[in-house]
Chains A and B, each alone.
Chain A
């Protein structure tokens, strides 16, 4: 049974690239592209893994994660956070609010696959 990965990201080309990579590696990928209703989508889809961008239209990835960790259903989902801002304080913030892993754009394909594999095994 392949793992279900939900990718929340607003940049179409990145969505396409990541979806391609994960599908090729055997993941079942679904996507969502704004922050407003991201939490509801997560709740509804109950993914095995979550990839969450920080700068989303409507709502920031940090807010979404913080809310998610506060919910019973979202407590245990491994989350990989992506950010393009590349600041250390973003990494600290992500760790503090409960991101499982954190990655700065641009990343290498091998890196994101490897990270997701580790997360799904853990």
Chain B
């Protein structure tokens, strides 16, 4: 027994040395041989874990040739789908992807929720698998101990498992978290697992060769033996084979540890060339002797022996202790390499997507604390590794290390395979969205947990027997192993079918129904088109093509005119024809500044950089982003329009306020005017009445004169009040028109006779009555009032000698026009509008009016649907009165 421990420790020590040397070599720059394609290919062999190493034989014993599917899936992926792997690797390298969770969350707009979900999925799916490795190590240890009969039995399996777990955790922490590298490469670890890959291959082949040539006497007899054995029966159920092959292929890509060695640790895409044939070859060699060992084991060992341990027990039973030791080391290699890589991969996820975000949000630490953060990241990685391994250990202890664990390999596969639709969709389908990914993953995860994981813990542990048989709450269609009434299928395939179906369905449908955020769209384009752009980058070497792309982009962002003028100016400055200048650094700087005004500096820089640098985003993608920013600009212009609207409203308010202020001033002015117009006649009246009262010895003629003044001033006051009332009624629009029929001739006739023309200062009226023969239907009294006002104004103000007033009437298009033209002096051009204002007067002569006459005229004409204006270009003062012949009717 001591020998076994010594050999184990020696082996581990050798691994430490290998890893250590590799690290040292990497540090000193001798990296070439460390990163050879063969190392990469060998590192992929962590696919073959302890479960595969020991379990494949057991699988073969139980299910015959079906075990081949476990090797077939990965081989098909590497042979036929290597371009998918290459795409993953390219994306992983360009995007600096650190884990499966990182890949998918990056693809879908750096969604942390997705990352957390995937981390949980990975931990849930992988922890039992790590436990399985612990089991295989302890089991093999126990087998050895039993064989050597030196009392090892007293040492319980759990203690062994604990020591193995501690040892593995230490190794992983030591070599997995030595440094914090952006690309997460671990030269020591990779080299160690490559060495382990060789060890396990040699071990398995050694056992195989021993079995074939040592025990069976060559290939021929061996084949014969297999032919007669039940295992060798080509007992193929097509669906089951296809299902299992698909499962192992999916797991090969999606297992966190596989993703880690295949994508994260990949140093050079070209390594895939060798891996694409060498890795299937490796798998073939690994599977080559599975059947011989199985058949031989069944032959040699007593019935009831654990077929999972045939690789060990067959050599032991033949007394080949050395071979058995080698085989044990092979199994140890398989188990340890898996645990190491899986715990690195899981700890990266746990630390990056769960621990660090929580720590950062609690401490609020920013990028400025980079030194501390580095330390914290390493610490969190180390703790995560320890936690993952210990979790697996507890799982192992709690599950009792029994046969329940044997099935966990495929259960795990189904779990991690849930990431497949999202991953494949993410790198091939631009329409995939974050919400879609979340939906698909959640549904797949839930189905897996419910229909496979929980039942796999053993009936009665979480899921009761009744529930297994009849479903929850008696809903038989929800029975974990018979979802939707599909009964009788293998639980693995049953769960695989439903989970993948509904997962993919939800992912696709929800993606189709949702819209990607801008970042998602950009990331999607970068992921899906990761190869296209590398090619087109070369085509962009010609300046014109670049300029054209820049132009197209600038037009989208700046608008066609501005972009063209910007490019045109530069082209002219460079002396180039047309609108496409050479993209000189200066011009790019100018363009970038222009763009940054619209989309922000960072985006502008990225856009220009992407086109000029030919990086992984296509012009289409940029335009999509530009369109989005155009939408944003549209939105902001809407906001702007709203604020313009508000400004306009404010301006209107200001104007109204101004008008009110003006009106208030006008009102003050008006009151002051009224006061003046009232007080002036009252002054005369008061003064003359006092004179009459106080003077007894006054001549009668004076008395009569003063009384006359008082009388006329009283009339003036009355007239003023009449006018004011009239005007206020007219202005308030409260006047009701009294419509009637009358000829224009009669109206003018009446107006002239009412105008109070006197003989002492004659005003000759010249008319053409024939042209006044127009039958009006209007408020003829109001119209007459206007005419009277105009005629009496002429009477008052016409300063010619002899004086005359010409009245011309004509009609046109339903409108009657009457011009009043006197031969006196004209009204000053400045005053021609003012005369229609209240209390305005022309000249210095007092004609007894308060200056309200024309204001009233204008109000009346407005009510009649017409107008009164000063008519320029005549021999004297002239007014034109124009109005509809039929009031209220439309002009013809």
- Chain A interface (Cβ < 8 Å from any Cβ of B): 10-14, 16-18, 20-21, 33-34, 55, 57-58, 84-87, 104-110
Q: Is the CB of A55 within 8 A of B846?
A: no
Q: Is the CB of A86 within 8 A of B694?
A: no
B685 sits at the interface (CB 8 A): yes
> Which of B675, B676, B687 is in CB contact (< 8 Å) with A14?
B687
Chain B residues contacting A109 (CB-CB under 8 Å) are: 687, 690-691, 694
Could you jot down 11 A-B contacts, CB within 8 Å?
A: A12-B846, A17-B688, A33-B844, A84-B676, A84-B683, A87-B675, A104-B679, A105-B680, A106-B683, A106-B685, A106-B686
> Which of B672, B691, B846 is in CB contact (< 8 Å) with A85?
B672
Q: Is the CB of B844 within 8 A of A21?
A: no
Shortest beta-carbon contacts, A-B, top 5:
A17-B687, A84-B679, A13-B684, A106-B683, A105-B683
Q: Is the CB of B679 within 8 A of A105?
A: yes
Q: Residue on B with the closest CB to A104?
A: B679
B21 sits at the interface (CB 8 A): no
Q: Is the CB of A107 within 8 A of B676?
A: no
Distance from B365 Cβ to chain A, minimum over Cβ atoms (Å): 71
Chain A residues contacting B23 (CB-CB under 8 Å) are: none
B34 sits at the interface (CB 8 A): no
B187 sits at the interface (CB 8 A): no
Complex: how many Å from CA A11 to CA B846? Answer: 7
Q: Is the CB of A10 within 8 A of B683?
A: no
> Which of B685, B694, B709, B844 is in CB contact (< 8 Å) with A16?
B709
The majority secondary structure among interface residues of chain A is loop
Chain A residues contacting B844 (CB-CB under 8 Å) are: 10, 33-34, 57-58
Q: Residue on B with the closest CB to A17?
A: B687
Complex: how many Å from CA A31 to CA B865? Answer: 47
Chain A residues contacting B680 (CB-CB under 8 Å) are: 11, 14, 84, 105
A-B interface pairs (CB < 8 A), number: 69
Q: Residue on A with the closest CB to B716?
A: A13
A13-B709, A57-B844, A84-B676 known; A21+B684 contact, CB < 8 A: no
- Chain B interface (Cβ < 8 Å from any Cβ of A): 672, 675-688, 690-691, 694, 709, 713, 841, 843-844, 846
Chain B residues contacting A12 (CB-CB under 8 Å) are: 846
Q: Is the CB of B687 within 8 A of A106?
A: yes
Distance from B354 Cβ to chain A, minimum over Cβ atoms (Å): 81
Distance from A32 Cβ to chain B, minimum over Cβ atoms (Å): 11
Distance from B159 Cβ to chain A, minimum over Cβ atoms (Å): 110
A16-B709, A58-B844 known; A86+B675 contact, CB < 8 A: yes
Distance from B850 Cβ to chain A, minimum over Cβ atoms (Å): 12
Complex: how many Å from CA A107 to CA B675? Answer: 14
Complex: how many Å from CA A21 to CA B682? Answer: 17
Chain B residues contacting A108 (CB-CB under 8 Å) are: 686, 690
Distance from A85 Cβ to chain B, minimum over Cβ atoms (Å): 5
Given A14-B683, A84-B680, A85-B676: 16 more A-B contacts, CB < 8 Å: A13-B681, A14-B687, A16-B709, A17-B691, A33-B844, A57-B844, A58-B844, A84-B675, A84-B676, A84-B677, A85-B679, A105-B682, A105-B683, A107-B686, A109-B690, A110-B690
Q: Residue on B with the closest CB to A58?
A: B844
Q: Residue on B with the closest CB to A82?
A: B683
Distance from A103 Cβ to chain B, minimum over Cβ atoms (Å): 10
Chain B residues contacting A13 (CB-CB under 8 Å) are: 681, 684, 688, 709, 713
Distance from B851 Cβ to chain A, minimum over Cβ atoms (Å): 12
Q: Is the CB of B684 within 8 A of A14?
A: yes
A10-B844, A33-B844 known; A106+B676 contact, CB < 8 A: no
A13-B713, A21-B687 known; A87+B679 contact, CB < 8 A: no
Distance from B841 Cβ to chain A, minimum over Cβ atoms (Å): 8
Complex: how many Å from CA A14 to CA B685? Answer: 9
